[in-house]
Amino acid sequence: MSTIIDFHSHIFPDDVAKKAIPFLEEEGNVKAFLDGTKDDLLRSMDQFGISKSVICSIATKPAQFEPIMSFSDSIRSERLVPFPSIHPASPDAIKQIRTIKEEGFKGIKMHPFYQDFFMDSDELLPIFAEINSQNLILLMHTGFDIAFPEIRRADPSAILNTLQRFPDLKLVTSHFGAWKLWDEVKEKMIGKNIYMDLSYALEFLGQEEAKEMIEKHPADYLLYGSDSPWSGQQESMALIQRLSLDKFLEEKILGENAMRLLEN
């Protein structure tokens, strides 16, 4: 078996996890599969043969940049690949993006609901420009979010507008293009060179539907992700494996594409 990389997961500092997980469970009316700590995620990775996990943090306030940077630095290893976060309202956002690059991190996570922005608003342009010129990966929560009213903060049109402005931006859209907007994903995004992680999406799509979307998309642009602890790493993988995809395609999705993306 080749390398398996989970491109979308979350952990918290131990003391934060104790409070954050029950709170987020309540907000989203969901049950976590793990306790949100590094140890529990590593245990899951060991159990299911996952080599690396990308750890997405979200700065819900500008002041969280520093603590997220320290946490990201404290957990980084061969197996855990942290993507720190900048808040777009921070006056220091541009400088912070440079710091993330200088400290050797591979990417940045942003979330339009928790960070209160619209993906294609002009305020974001300097931020995307800097992420682009620093050659960092931008993992963006796209589509709706289970814990928020259905507002179009990062829909397929906004994604396409962003990529039109920054064609070289290493943008990874989450949840198979845009959570709960999959009809528009099919219409506007499938077939284009747009990275998508498959986290927390196949649960909501029919098997035939998911398979068709995957097979119509460029094979190098799909990434296995679990959104752990909000889904299980094994369960998310099984949802891909049960589609009986071509073996080479499955290997690309489960790890090869992520490895290539993280190498550059």
User: Which spans of this chain sit near Zn ion (rule: CB under 5 A)?
Assistant: 227
Which residue's CB comes closest to Zn ion? 227
Indicate the residue among 162 and 231 with the shorter CB distance to Zn ion.
231
Shortest Å, Cβ 230 to Zn ion? 7
Rounded Cα gap, residues 27 and 71, in angstroms: 24
Rounded Cα gap, residues 21 and 202, in angstroms: 23
Evaluate the CA torsion angle 214, 215, 218, 220 in order and state its sign: positive
Evaluate the CA torsion angle 241, 143, 100, 232 in order and state its sign: negative
Indicate the residue among 109 and 252 with the shorter CB distance to Zn ion.
109
Residue 133 identity (one-letter amino acid): S
Indicate the residue among 227 and 256 with the shorter CB distance to Zn ion.
227
C-alpha dihedral, 57 to 181 to 223 to 169, nearest 10°: -70
Indicate the residue among 10 and 252 with the shorter CB distance to Zn ion.
10
Neighbours of 204 (CB within 10 A): 13
Shortest Å, Cβ 109 to Zn ion? 8
Shortest Å, Cβ 199 to Zn ion? 6
Q: Which residues of 125-134 are buried (b: 16+ CB within 10 A; e: fewer)?
A: eebbebbbee
Indicate the residue among 227 and 250 with the shorter CB distance to Zn ion.
227
Shortest Å, Cβ 26 to Zn ion? 17
Shortest Å, Cβ 246 to Zn ion? 28
* 190 token code pair: 């499938």
